[in-house]
Amino acid sequence: MILRNKTRDVVTYQLFLVVVLTAVLLIILIPFWQVIVTAFTPLDVYTQRGVPFFLNPADWTTEAFRQLLSHPLFPRSMLNSAIITLGGTFISLVLTVPLAYGLSITTLPGRKLVLLFILFTFLFNPGLVPTYLLVTRLGLTNNFLAVIMPPAVSVWNTLIMMSFFQGLPDELKEAARIDGANELQVLVRIILPLSKPILLTIGLFYAVHFWNEFFTPILYLNDNSLMPLPVLLRNILISASFNEYVEYNAFSSTSIESLKAAGVLITMLPMLLVYPWIQRYFTKGTLVGGVKE
């Protein structure tokens, strides 16, 4: 009788979990589907009945994407976003990894003081004006480093990586030290090969941040040839709203809302393509066999 009740409770809990997860999935998918439909909705359909939930396949149009992709600055802006994303992610990991590894060593002299300084910057942000004055006085205006360097080290990502390093077996580190390896060699030869999941995870966090960076380029990048993709899309949409965009005129077959939705999909696409490739590394048993008897 007791076993039957437990089985019933388990089934009830599983059904409840399925219902909750299904609701969460619908909450995520319905707005995303609406953005997709909006991006492919023709102007005549939009003016007659707004954005439909389901669109007839015969009515789908790629005019919004064509207008955005045909902009003369689009290829350059894509390249700029790629440079900022790849360069920013690389620099951030190069700075975050040694900092997190050093803080993970509990016997490091002054560790608590350094950790206190880092947490202080996390709790008390200096604000926009001091950061702007610092970047401009360093002469980084119209330089990609102005976008990359200020957020290069995230305190939150550092703490996550520090916790991961602390969870690695101390036996591996001690064995390397006994063999004569210094701390840099321990980090490069022992820690990093075992840290692929956390490196890819934190790297993805940094990449998403730099790819979507919008406000900082507006502040420091005044040259149109340095404009990243989010800023270019914003300028196109503003121009289209005021009927100043050359491709957007009275004979256009798309709406402003379709342009906005297409811009959202274009900016989302690279991260959507990268994430599934990185996801497979999250579940790997990286440490399996790392410590042998």
Where along the chain do its domains lie?
A: 2-70+247-282, 74-220
Cα 225 off chain centre by: 24
- Residue 202 burial (CB < 10 Å; 0-12/13-18/19+)? buried
The C-alpha atoms of residue 261 and residue 255 are separated, in whole angstroms, by 10
Beta-carbon neighbour count of residue 176 at 10 Å?
18
> For 119-168, what is each residue's pLDDT tens digit?
888 888 878 888 888 899 988 889 999 999 988 999 989 988 888 888 88
The predicted pLDDT at position 95 comes to: 94
The predicted pLDDT at position 90 comes to: 95
Record the tokens describing residue 160, joined without a space. 């996550």
Q: What superfamily does domain 74-220 belong to in CATH? A: MetI-like (1.10.3720.10)
The C-alpha atoms of residue 68 and residue 236 are separated, in whole angstroms, by 8
The predicted pLDDT at position 249 comes to: 47
Question: What pTM was estimated for this model as a whole?
Answer: 0.81
Exposure on the CB side of residue 58, measured as CA atoms within 13 A: 0
**Residues in the chain where the model's pLDDT stays below 50:** 244-251, 284-293
The predicted pLDDT at position 62 comes to: 85
The predicted pLDDT at position 211 comes to: 92
